[in-house]
Structure 1
């Protein structure tokens, strides 16, 4: 194992813990020291729980010393996206509206982590209420990409991806509504999976768009991602959308890493005009590597994908406007009294509170969603978008009759600079053009690093999509490609990133 515990994979840490060659306290403290050293530059965390993490670590070490049989990842630390409720720890969703809120209960995913004995290092930064592709919409300031601190780490889960990429956590949780796990993974050189919709419980996740939101794992390797997926997944009676079925055999698939005879479809509509040359080049090289390993590759057309972005940005704001209506100063969140009004009405208090508590992107989407759901426009906008959603699902079904998995670049470009697209919502939305179809259809998707773009030296990602409840296919393809790329590179891609602790990074 790497002598620097923060550079070891989660699987390596789990083996070391099981053999008692290292302790959870040692590992957890190493990560807390790393956070103290570099998070002032990266701003991956909104809250660090050193005391709680070390308490869990000590308890796991004691249980292991007593001979108790523990979960595979027991003692391996993790970071949790701040959209998941955590009992006794703040949950803000990156918003002033929930500033200081400490939930009285855990999200089911968090409960699974605790049951597995995983110390929670803290809560990671995110775009406010998960609305954004850059983490610049956090009310508490942006997170930064460890490859270049002047660039974004993706969004909405940029805090989780930045924490993993900067070695401030071996694992992290994320949520993916239109690409918020996969796109951050692509631009930071990490791995992220959006499981099948319903494969991981949404109970305790502060909802953005209920029919699209899906929690999933973030890590540095495919195997680590699979190990966390196994912990997070499973049926939950507290979530009416939870699938009553076992977690797919993702860990076995990640260890097998075999694509011999697999039929792989390259999606024609996801990779043409608008994609950065370096992104396309690394994608084509990755596809060629899969062919060398015995996969059959064909081009697949999914024509309805051309309308996915438009449909998504009607469905998501509509559901968001409904879900965020509860933050009204009467039931949830902060309360602000209007200035200069002696006896304000409920409506005046609500207006003042929502104006102060929500940021511009949240307001933009609430207004758009409320308009799309309004009388006289519902059928023309929201109803039509749902019809397009059905067509997209049908395109997936037809494609999977011909192939086992689909491939595309994860994001059209590498990480852009902070501020470049902040005032151009449409340019920001286009970052999710390749990831959105999977959320609309509920199918699983994964992003793994495909290399570095020649024009800027920044990470690129390749997206793997599989049929619903066939999540294991993501891991067999992802692990096989990861292995082939590792042999080509000679070292993990993150080893090529600047050393933050040494201050050798742009913008430091």
Structure 2
């Protein structure tokens, strides 16, 4: 295994800028790694045919003395929910198999402009509906820590690619935890930015009021560097914020070198009992809080009485919006088309196409959402869920008058076995119990690796939430805790992960 693939994106960027390595070398090392292990991991749905050409162009521009972006020449994996002109964009669904977009998603376009090298498109739950990446129409992704376990969802492909050293950086999307929960179970860092802080233009919509694009990386600094590239106002996105954002990379550097934790007030939710969490997850969470306290943080118990209703509200809001967003997949304009018989009407073709093209989980949520929006039930279900959403937003507002950040475990358990929960939708939905409130309220969240659970040796993450527009605060706090934890471990958590061999299995 090449040493290049184990470098952080920041370290790779430094070597590229100094001329110690070329982008072609860095890209080839990651392509070799994909060829070596992705048959076992299945993080990628499509590997770019043009990556080395793009890398070569970056090298030529650098050699010519052109001023390039901080991450120019660094490879990047892209969640398949983000459309691209040069690679298929399927959103993990058969209904979009082979689809090529006429335009790039804004975050992809900004990544290309900054000189990042797209490696390929990563696997995901179909239309981002799932918590395990088992609902992909193209087969599940496997967790690099244990190939028999899930890598989280819906962005399990992006998290697994980063954890397996197939890519130093990845783009993901987070509708109810689909960046943070995979980060939790793979020992990576995942950021859900403030709603509107990163453009959703070109992200295939699941639930438009909840979806948010963000970075998946191995360090908090790497996340900040990528966030600086993809963030900012986009006139193509009507929900985009016109704020002037600070440098998130610089915020991460401040956190790593400064005394950020001293005097920091960290809120712990009283209504989040240990009984709902795996023992090793709770223990790691408490140990991380104790470490923060030892560095001068103050742990404050806060009340968020409506958080417990977040999952119920979310699974009414999301299916309702998904039902509307997925109506565009009608067999007429693009995507799969199934003609059941010679005299088929448009309605016949549409029904046959959606039956063949959508998986069980997508059908389940469309049916639920259509029901919730139907006459006679709209106020009782969808309207009530939106009222709960407002109460959760008020809980956040009240909490942030008392504390600087809120801390929770990023998910209730470590990675479960593939197939263990796929036939129990309710148990699958409960995996997002701590991450969903942030999406309902639009506030930013970060998951940082906090250790390994004692009972199974698998990664655990701690989540921090901050007020809307205070993403930089999360980078400072996340980087400060990361530095303290890495110092206590004697190295990054992923250095303790099993390394996949070329022949399959784990050595």
Give the TM interval when normalised to the shorter protein: over 0.9
- The 5 Å alignment of 1:247-286 reads 247-257=245-255, 258-286=260-288
Q: 2:175 aligns with which of 174, 177, 185?
A: 177
- The 5 Å alignment of 1:16-55 reads 16-49=15-48, 51-55=49-53
Per mean C-alpha deviation after superposition, the further-off stretch among 368-377 and 478-487 is 478-487
| Rounded Cα–Cα distance in structure 2 between residues aligned with 1:400 and 1:30 | 45
Q: Which residue in 2 is equivalent to 1:293?
A: 295
> Given the alignment of the two structures, is residue 365 of structure 1 paired with residue 371 of structure 2, yes or no?
no
1:265 CA drift (Å): 0.5
SS in 2 for 1:413: coil
SS in 2 for 1:14: helix
SS in 2 for 1:414: coil
SS in 2 for 1:199: coil
Q: Which residue in 2 is equivalent to 1:478?
A: 478
Deviations 1:260-298 (Å, cap 9, x if unpaired)? 211111122335322000000000000011111111110
Cα pair 2:37 2:504 within 8 Å, conserved: no
The runs of at least 4 consecutive aligned structure 1 residues that moved more than 3 Å come to 502-506
Cα pair 2:330 2:350 within 8 Å, conserved: yes
1:246 CA drift (Å): 2.1
Cα pair 1:372 1:381 within 8 Å, conserved: yes
Cα pair 1:318 1:366 within 8 Å, conserved: yes
- The 5 Å alignment of 1:228-377 reads 228-257=226-255, 258-338=260-340, 341-377=341-377
| Rounded Cα–Cα distance in structure 2 between residues aligned with 1:421 and 1:291 | 36
Q: Which residue in 2 is equivalent to 1:434?
A: 434
Q: Which residue in 2 is equivalent to 1:144?
A: 142
Taking structure 1 as the reference length, the TM-score comes to 0.98
Cα pair 1:162 1:188 within 8 Å, conserved: yes
SS in 2 for 1:396: helix
1:505 CA drift (Å): 4.2
1:471 CA drift (Å): 0.2
Deviations 1:333-365 (Å, cap 9, x if unpaired)? 211012xx3311211111111000000000000
Deviations 1:114-150 (Å, cap 9, x if unpaired)? 0000010000000000000000000000000000000
SS in 1 for 2:119: strand
Cα pair 1:248 1:470 within 8 Å, conserved: no
Deviations 1:274-331 (Å, cap 9, x if unpaired)? 2000000000000011111111110111001010000000000000000000111112
- The 5 Å alignment of 1:114-129 reads 114-129=112-127
Q: 1:134 aligns with which of 127, 132, 135?
A: 132
SS in 1 for 2:12: helix
Could you say if the C-alpha distance between residues 436 and 164 of structure 1 is closer, same or farther in structure 2, counting changes exceeding 3 Å?
same
Per mean C-alpha deviation after superposition, the further-off stretch among 484-493 and 443-452 is 484-493
Taking structure 2 as the reference length, the TM-score comes to 0.98
Q: Which residue in 2 is equivalent to 1:154?
A: 152
1:502 CA drift (Å): 5.8
| Rounded Cα–Cα distance in structure 1 between residues aligned with 2:419 and 2:114 | 40
1:3 CA drift (Å): 6.7
SS in 2 for 1:80: strand
1:504 CA drift (Å): 7.9
Cα pair 1:77 1:119 within 8 Å, conserved: yes
SS in 1 for 2:296: coil
SS in 2 for 1:391: helix
Per mean C-alpha deviation after superposition, the further-off stretch among 378-387 and 238-247 is 238-247
SS in 1 for 2:407: strand
Deviations 1:417-445 (Å, cap 9, x if unpaired)? 00000000000000000000000000000
SS in 1 for 2:267: strand
| Rounded Cα–Cα distance in structure 2 between residues aligned with 1:362 and 1:298 | 40
Number of residue pairs matched by the alignment: 503
SS in 2 for 1:438: helix
Deviations 1:79-109 (Å, cap 9, x if unpaired)? 0000001012100000000001011100000
**RMSD, matched Cα:** 1.2
Q: Which residue in 1 is equivalent to 2:9?
A: 10
Cα pair 2:197 2:231 within 8 Å, conserved: yes
Q: Which residue in 1 is equivalent to 2:184?
A: 186
Cα pair 2:129 2:362 within 8 Å, conserved: yes
> Given the alignment of the two structures, is residue 404 of structure 1 paired with residue 404 of structure 2, yes or no?
yes
Could you say if the C-alpha distance between residues 52 and 293 of structure 1 is closer, same or farther in structure 2, counting changes exceeding 3 Å?
same
Deviations 1:13-63 (Å, cap 9, x if unpaired)? 0100111111101100000000000000000000001x3111111111111
| Rounded Cα–Cα distance in structure 1 between residues aligned with 2:342 and 2:337 | 16
| Rounded Cα–Cα distance in structure 2 between residues aligned with 1:210 and 1:228 | 23
Per mean C-alpha deviation after superposition, the further-off stretch among 144-153 and 471-480 is 471-480
